[in-house]
Structure 1
Amino acid sequence: MDLVRHLRYFVVVAEELHFGNAAIRLGMAQPPLSQRIKRLEEELGVRLFDRSARQVRLTEAGRLLLGEAREIVTRVERLRELARHGEGGLLRIGVPPDLAASVIAALVAGFRGTNPDVRLVPAENWTADQVTALAEGTIDVGLVRHPVSAPGLEFGQMLVQPQGVLLAEDDPLAGAGEVHLADLAGRELLMPPKEGEPGWHAETLAECRRHGYVPGQVHQGAGLGLVLAGQAVAFGPRADIPGLAWRPLLGSPIACRLSTAWRAVAGQRKDWVAEFSAVAVRTLKESAGMSEEGVAPARRISVRPGMVA
């Protein structure tokens, strides 16, 4: 068990006295948070919270532990800051697992062009995991999919990419000029994992229902195997992928919104974070067809199997 991480979860729950609010603050789902608090209680051999349907309260043992837990978490964060300062020119970034390799390469090349002495270290994580990693200081800046709400984070410029629908090339809708969401009735849908992208998941399914499309089943993942097999459809940017057909959605009801995110206190990496954010905006516009206005360029872009160009 990662004791420090579990103590940090405990501190946040103790400050919120509400598992749902604490989960939002940590950028994770509530059930895993409850399980980790239970694991911590089992490890320590004490009950830390009195739980009821209406209220969460600290036990006497929880109150005694809280001050020590805060000090431990603060000291570990300080050690991590000192270690990062010793690493010199290193900026750790989070990127979505479905971001195209060509876009990641363009991000690294663009940043290196203005900061040749700083090495970018990308880590592939979904938005919720990036929020947690930013709070814990294990990454310096992330590229997150909205909507996302996390206290203590700042966000860069929002860029928007309208999504079309990806279908098997022999799907009857593959020959349509535009597809209405309601035309997808009866088809199953492939989306990024709900725990990793809770905001995008909820917002997209709500928009589908509003336009008359209720998926028969929602699959979770980043690859497009189910779409290639004709068992599901997926939303994504305009792309040429063998075996698949991409069609625009009437009225562009589904859109992917991305921005950079970082902790409000970025320490000595503040300038690097700002520079990376600027590079990310340029790269997402030029290499991923994103825009401030939410209208993607007409040109086609090739992507790896995934949802973000």
Structure 2
Amino acid sequence: MDLLAHLEAYVATADEASFSRAADRLGIAQPLLSRRIKTLEEHFGGSLFDRSRRQITTTELGLLLLPYARDVLDRTQRLRRAARSARRSRVRAVGVPADCAPAALARAIRAGTERGITLGMRELPPAERTSGLADGSLQYALVRTAPEQGALRVPLGLASAPGQDGTGTGRPGTGRPGTAGRPLHLEELRPRRGRGAATAAPPPLLLLTEDELPSVEDRLLRSAARAGLPRGRIRPAGPAATALAETLAGSALLLCAEPFARRHGAHWRPLADRALHRGYDVRAAQVRTDASGVPGWLAALLASAVGAVADGHDGHGGPGGYGGPGGYGGQDGDGRPESATGGQDVPARLAARG
């Protein structure tokens, strides 16, 4: 028995003193309402209404139980209102990489607030972002993919101490701290053996947690092997603060995105091999009550937060590259790459991928 529906029939009939008017009030057929009243009377073991007169009246049992029935229906209404309010105000968790730009995440939070949505940013490793979407603990997330497959591409490069050229050889750089120099080929990281060359061991290449994925490491190791770099030179960075300290001190090179290096005052050069860049998709949870997917405004702001670029920005100088007109080198007032904040190409690519 649907107790709530039966109690609604009971209370409406007591209020209207008529089966027909009560049925009209509830928007149901009168025979259905009569059956509900009859079932409820059998459940309580007594008549709720006296049907012996032309106008029905509530029996003594009916009057006794009526306040309790009203209380149950009132509490049910309050419960429903509380549930609706909770759905509207619930925090929607968004899984993001640990090296996202805080200013861009703040813009996403503000944009959600303007739309009546509360976003909670959660910094998580790639595997936990994927599992969070599967189990519903995350509503949205930036998911790592191969750079040639993802809707978003984030150029990676090597951060080094200010004033160096990004190869760890001690040669002076040409750009100011945080700016992108010419694309870097891994072959340039081999120490030079000429007369007067430094004999110190070459600095290690450190991988942030965001890039400690088997597929990413495999690509990097294979590229390093082709470039003649020893496998042991590439190792996990550990805590980001320690890795940055080693990098800024000139004792390590850090594989990272340009916005991350720039925020910490390091020199940065993009890797020439696009296969070593990061790929991302912005995805919604698999367990959802609707099929609305990822809002376009959120996808564009998350793309900005990770430093994604348009497909035409290939990491090389000249038009469409890092150094030319329309390239990745342009930034707005709070450090966003212009190509990542325009928002026109990002939603289109995401929509094309479903």
Aligned length: 211
- Compute the displacement of 1:103 (Å): 2.0
What residue number does 2:329 align with?
A: 298
1:258 counterpart = 2:280: yes
What residue number does 2:173 align with?
A: 175
Q: 2:140 corresponds to which letter in structure 1?
A: V
- Compute the displacement of 1:281 (Å): 2.7
Q: 1:174 to 1:266 in 2, by over 3 A?
A: farther
1:138 counterpart = 2:137: yes
- Equivalent position SS for 2:154: strand
Give identity over the alignment, percent: 22
- Compute the displacement of 1:294 (Å): 5.0
Q: What is the CA RMSD across the aligned residues, in angstroms?
A: 3.6
What residue number does 2:300 align with?
A: 281
Distance in 1 between the 2:162 and 2:245 partners?
13
What residue number does 2:209 align with?
A: 193
What residue number does 1:110 align with?
A: 111
Q: What does the per-residue CA deviation read over 1:205-264, in whole Å, with 9 as the maximum and x for residues that have no partner?
A: 333334443452413333322211222111233343565211233455531212212334
Distance in 2 between the 1:248 and 1:204 partners?
14
Structure 2 runs not aligned, ≥5 long: 1-82, 165-169, 175-180, 191-201, 315-326, 336-340, 342-354
What residue number does 2:245 align with?
A: 225
- Equivalent position SS for 2:218: helix
TM-score normalised to structure 1 length = 0.56
Structure 1 runs not aligned, ≥5 long: 1-82, 149-154, 304-308
What residue number does 1:127 align with?
A: 126
Q: Is the 8 A contact 2:133 2:286 kept in 1?
A: no
TM-score normalised to structure 2 length = 0.50
Whose relative contact order is higher, 1 or 2, with alpha carbons under 8 Å and at least 6 apart?
Answer: 1
Q: 1:290 corresponds to which letter in structure 2?
A: V
Distance in 2 between the 1:128 and 1:263 partners?
14
Q: 1:139 to 1:252 in 2, by over 3 A?
A: closer
- Equivalent position SS for 1:267: coil
- Equivalent position SS for 2:143: strand
1:238 counterpart = 2:258: yes
- Compute the displacement of 1:193 (Å): 2.7
Q: 1:263 to 1:123 in 2, by over 3 A?
A: same
- Compute the displacement of 1:85 (Å): 9.3
What residue number does 1:207 align with?
A: 223
**Which protein shows a greater Rg?**
2
- Compute the displacement of 1:124 (Å): 0.9
Distance in 1 between the 2:205 and 2:137 partners?
33
Distance in 2 between the 1:167 and 1:192 partners?
14
- Compute the displacement of 1:128 (Å): 0.3
Q: 1:209 to 1:158 in 2, by over 3 A?
A: farther
- Compute the displacement of 1:278 (Å): 4.4
- Equivalent position SS for 1:88: helix
Distance in 1 between the 2:303 and 2:139 partners?
19
